[in-house]
Amino acid sequence: MRRGALMFGAWGLWVGAWATTLAIWGEALVPLLAFGGAAALAALSAGLLVVTSPSSDPPRTLAESSAAPPVIAAGVVLAANGAAFGLWLVLIGAELIAFGAGLAISERRRARSR
């Protein structure tokens, strides 16, 4: 399985969770259709990438991945959504941003010591 398909499928699950949240508490139909359609399209695309992928990924010389950028991005999204949902969500987003920055600093220090 290709890593790109895995990440794209995970993104589709994330958007699907937002679509489910909108279906439960939202009243507008257009955002629900947009999020639901994006989640379904991402799931179909990830499945297509898995089915048509080559047997293995080529070897890489760089690090496989870093957890810091997605954590920081999730914190920014939560902090931005806090404008609509309240201060508690802004604070959770700020905590995620700080945690992601700490991860980035520790990964950089660990890479320098090698």
pLDDT, tens only, 67-113: 899 999 999 999 999 888 889 999 999 999 999 999 999 988 888 88
Whole-angstrom distance, CA of residue 21 vs CA of residue 90: 18
Mean pLDDT of the chain: 84
| pTM over cut 0.85 | no
Q: Tokens in use for 7? A: 């990440």
pLDDT at 53 over 70: no
Residue 56: pLDDT band by 50, 70, 90 thresholds? low
Check residue 100 and give its pLDDT: 94
Residue 7: pLDDT band by 50, 70, 90 thresholds? confident
Letter for the amino acid at 109? R
Whole-angstrom distance, CA of residue 97 vs CA of residue 100: 5
Residue 36: pLDDT band by 50, 70, 90 thresholds? confident
Check residue 58 and give its pLDDT: 65
CA distances from 7 to 3, 28, 63, 65, 97 (A): 6, 29, 16, 11, 21
Whole-angstrom distance, CA of residue 6 vs CA of residue 79: 26
pLDDT at 64 over 70: no
